[in-house]
Amino acid sequence: MLDFEEVQKHNTKDDCWVVIHGKAYDVSKFIDEHPGGSAIILKYAGKDATKVFDPVHPPDTLEKYLGKEFHLGEVKMPEKTPKKEYDDDPDEPPSQEELQRRLNIANMPDLAQIYNLNDFEFVARYTMNKIAWAYYLSGCDDEITLRENHLAFHRVFFKPKVLVDVTNVDLRTKMLGTEVELPFYITATALGKLGHPEGERVLARSAGKQGVIQMIPTLASCLFDEIVDESLPDQTQWFQLYVNKDRKVCREIVEHAERRGMKGLFITVDAPQLGRREKDMRSKNFEDLSHVQGDDEEADRSQGAARAILSFIDTALQWSDLEWFRSITKMPLVLKGVQRIDDALKADEMGIDGIVLSNHGGRQLEFSPPPLELLIELMPILKKRGLKMEVYLDGGVRRATDVLKALCLGAKGVGIGRPFLYAMSTYGDEGVYKAIQVLRDEMIMCMRLMGATKISDLDESMIDVRRREVVEDKLFGKVYEELESPAFKLKL
């Protein structure tokens, strides 16, 4: 067993050890390959980096990607571990911003005061740490796509029926052949532990209790098996896949997901490279490290918390690769991130089981079409050709009315991401449960007011898409945080 004092001696770029969960690792040869640059590793050279490692890495990261020869063994930590760089320093008391955040947490509204999904976002804005908030919140470039995803729903109106017996409302439906209690699902979002210590396991528990499908992300903070183990025996889960350059690794991931009972494989097709997310970049996750040796000129500074997590993605993924996926799994195949009609039609012609109209929550290509706008144009064409695949949608959903509009226009189901992260980050299990319940209650009310008693009643006759002028959503505007400009080192 190594002494911690020995670890502390290895604190340079050429000789760099770090401690994670009581074990030492020699990362000297990995430093220059790290997608986030060497500075972030060197800041914790010779120190315990567990606290900063955990939120942005699945637990098996070191086992998978760092050779066994660099695993140095367990470390005998001192009874009183030296103060870490990221802990509060008694000589440098917490900033006013951090003190205010702690005060906000102590005085959060009771969960009973949360009436809609925007309320969760409002509370999260003032209680989450800056890094996590910026990562979850950020969109690409000027965030026009992010905002338009939501505003598109406000350009569509209902045509409700009256004098209909709406005593009993049934929200059950089928998605990819599985009967579910509600026509929406918790879509895949990365790095759940940034918002809550138990990360995606919280989402799994709450989804299972209310019969909602959870899509498990490739880039979860928790191990895939940990999330599945948290689910109920009859709970339906899907798996979202970022395709690995190494087909052997990719196959192992897919086959393991199928063995663990995943009911759908959602292949992400809109992220060969990360979009430029400036809120994330300004989040101070990788603060000024000019004091660290080396210029670190090769670091990719195009992202904050997000920048180092997608270096393994296959940028050469093509349509022809889809047949390979068919050959290795019996799970339904769904393409997540379709953004144009001809791609949707091609997927249908190839016999793909489904598509998700999505622009990655406005985090990838700026000026991508809002998924709802694409749905309006696509569904008449698909129906005319004889609809064979299922069409899903995600991005910008904040109300049950948003879900119902998509269903009326032909979507099979609707994915919701950020609101459940905000609910998890602020109120934990109870928050996610409440968020689902809020949507359920809204949906029952809206179905009654529309004159519909079951999901199959919803169709294009109940929707008006003619008034697609720009509108303003004051509640969304209240929780939306504007982009920042660069800060001067001294106040002007």
**Which residues are designated catalytic?**
242, 270, 360
Q: Are 282 and 484 in contact (CB under 8 A)?
A: yes
> Which burial class, exposed, middle or buried, applies to 272 when counting CB atoms under 10 A from its CB (0-12, 13-18, 19+)?
middle
Side-chain-side CA neighbours of 3 within 13 Å: the count stands at 3
Identify the residue whose tokens are 């696509």.
Answer: 378
Size of the chain, expressed as the number of residues it contains: 492
Distance between CA 402 and CA 371 in Å, rounded?
Answer: 12
CA–chain centroid gap for 470, Å, is 28
**Nearest-CA neighbor of 207 among 442, 439, 438, 436?**
436
Identify the residue whose tokens are 């979860």.
Answer: 220
Distance between CA 359 and CA 13 in Å, rounded?
Answer: 39
Query: Which pairs with CB-CB distance under 8 Å and at least 24 residues apart come from 5-9?
Result: 7/46, 7/47, 7/75, 8/46, 8/47, 9/46
Measured between alpha carbons, how far is residue 490 from residues 1, 96, 100, 279, 487 in Å? 47, 17, 22, 21, 8
Strands 354-357 and 390-394, sheet pairing:
parallel
Distance between CA 306 and CA 276 in Å, rounded?
Answer: 10
> Which burial class, exposed, middle or buried, applies to 244 when counting CB atoms under 10 A from its CB (0-12, 13-18, 19+)?
middle
Q: Residue 334: beta bridge partners?
A: 266, 354
Distance between CA 299 and CA 276 in Å, rounded?
Answer: 15
Side-chain-side CA neighbours of 420 within 13 Å: the count stands at 33
Q: Are 218 and 249 in contact (CB under 8 A)?
A: no
Phi, psi for residue 36 in degrees, rounded to 5: -90, 5
* Beta strand segments in 442-487, E: 463-464
**Nearest-CA neighbor of 124 among 132, 284, 94?**
132
Distance between CA 194 and CA 53 in Å, rounded?
Answer: 11
